[in-house]
Amino acid sequence: MKTKIESSLLEQMQFSNREIALRKRLFGFTERDVANLVACRELIAVQVDEISEDFYRQQVAEPEIAMVIGDQDTLQRLKNSMHHYILELFQGYYDAEYVNKRLRVGKIHKRIGVTPKLYMSAVWLLMSVLENFIQAEKSGKIGGVPCADIQMSLRKLILFDTQLVFDTYINSMTDEILIAKQEVEQYAESLEQRIAERTQQLHEIALRDPLTGLFNQRAFYDSLHRQLAIAERTNDSVCLVYFDLNGFKKLNDSMGHKAGDALLILVGEAMNETLRNSDLACRYGGDEFCIILPSIDLAQAQVFCLRLTEHFDHKETCGITFSMGVIESNAALRLEMNEMVRLADTKMYLAKELSHAESGHHIECSLLSGRF
């Protein structure tokens, strides 16, 4: 019974009994050839050690082959293997088990680095050594079979074996190519994923203000355009809050730009603490900020602004306050993007004017104007 490993090798190479029979037929290897080889079995069995020694004596005389063989222990193992192979050539059993052994030989030779050049030279040498022993029979016959017939049958079988070995070589190289292909595909997939991640990171960087982490002006316009389109399609509303910081220039002049940057960061934190998931907070530029509030009316936007100022006032604000302008686009009045920004900016400046007369946060919108 074949082991699981042996069976899987035969199956992997797709060697059925039908395939084995076909290959023999292609070489013209018949039952007559089997009988010719069996007739020589006893003579070969007696001389097998001498044949093996003669073969390896000539092999190791070639420096390149001697280098592949290496040490004496390896040489002795090879001699033992050759001993068994020579006997198998004349046993008369060339079935699936025999084929499996040849496939394994090919796999081993490929693994240890025996090149086709060296393997074919070894095949030629073995054939020559065996034919010389066969021809040494003075009668010209062995077991009643002409030596020439035995030699022809032997050539067919050795060529049959060589074909099996090279099938294994090709199969191993195909496996190596498939493995390499899979590795390249995995690397390409990994690289593609890293590139996609890096591209996404770069995209995020391109849309973010590096100081506050808020979205920048480019992202603001992209998002406002999208939200206005959605609102029009769903008959919904969108509010825009546009504000700047009261007293920011004085802070920069008196305490320096680092203090100003720290204050801008606090504004960003207050905005993020107040936002819903659907809202978008942006640093428009300098000390000006915008917030897009989808699905909100002016009254709700006012509540949002109050919460924002409360979050901000709990921080180290250095006396900074907000001037806020709020605009709503709704079903009754659909505003174009640039018009909405212009109107919000105008209302913010109205709130700014109030801040010059009164301290605190100021908001300007249609529903309510005043100080907080």
Residues contacting residue 15 through CB under 8 Å, at least 6 positions apart = 96, 99, 100, 103
Can you give the pLDDT at residue 270?
95
Q: Which two tokens stand for residue 292?
A: 């897009």
| CB half-sphere exposure, 284, CA atoms < 13 A | 17
**Given the residues 167, 209, 287, 345, the one annotated as active site:** 287
Structure confidence at residue 6 as a pLDDT band (50, 70, 90): very low
pLDDT tens digit sequence for 320-345: 999 999 999 998 889 999 999 999 99
Structure confidence at residue 9 as a pLDDT band (50, 70, 90): low
C-alpha angle 315-319-320 in degrees, rounded to nearest 5: 85
Q: Global pTM?
A: 0.52
Whether pLDDT at 244 is above 90: yes
Whether pLDDT at 97 is above 60: yes
Fill in the amino acid letter for 313: D
Structure confidence at residue 372 as a pLDDT band (50, 70, 90): very low
Residues contacting residue 106 through CB under 8 Å, at least 6 positions apart = 164, 165, 166, 167, 168, 169, 172
Which has the higher per-residue pLDDT, 154 or 138?
154
pLDDT tens digit sequence for 173-214: 666 677 778 888 888 888 888 888 887 777 777 889 999 999
Percent of the chain with pLDDT over 70: 93
Structure confidence at residue 297 as a pLDDT band (50, 70, 90): very high
To the query of whether residue 287 is one of the catalytic residues in this protein, the response is yes
For the ranges 94-108, 224-238, 248-262, 271-285, the lowest mean pLDDT is seen at 94-108
| Domain residue spans of the chain | 4-184, 217-371
User: Nearest Cα to 305, choosing from 336, 357, 348?
Assistant: 348
Can you give the pLDDT at residue 176?
67
- Region 75-88 average pLDDT: 87
Tell me how far apart the alpha carbons of residues 55 and 78 are, in angstroms, rounded to a whole number. Answer: 11
In the CATH scheme, what is the homologous superfamily, with its name and number, of domain 217-371? Answer: Reverse transcriptase/Diguanylate cyclase domain (3.30.70.270)
Can you give the pLDDT at residue 287?
94
Fill in the amino acid letter for 138: K
pLDDT tens digit sequence for 246-258: 999 999 888 888 9
Tell me how far apart the alpha carbons of residues 71 and 320 are, in angstroms, rounded to a whole number. Answer: 86
CATH architecture of 4-184: Orthogonal Bundle (1.10)
Can you give the pLDDT at residue 4?
44
Q: Judge residue 370's burial from the number of C-beta atoms within 10 Å of its C-beta, 0-12 exposed, 13-18 middle, 19 or more buried.
A: middle
Is the fold of 4-184 the same as that of 217-371?
A: no
Whether pLDDT at 106 is above 90: no
- Region 341-351 average pLDDT: 94
Tell me how far apart the alpha carbons of residues 83 and 53 are, in angstroms, rounded to a whole number. Answer: 9
pLDDT tens digit sequence for 298-317: 999 999 999 999 999 999 88
CA 29 to chain CA centroid, nearest Å: 49
Can you give the pLDDT at residue 5?
42
> By the 8 A CB rule, do 48 and 87 touch?
yes
Rounded (10°) angle between helices 72-89 and 116-135: 60
Structure confidence at residue 281 as a pLDDT band (50, 70, 90): very high
Residues contacting residue 259 through CB under 8 Å, at least 6 positions apart = 251, 252, 318
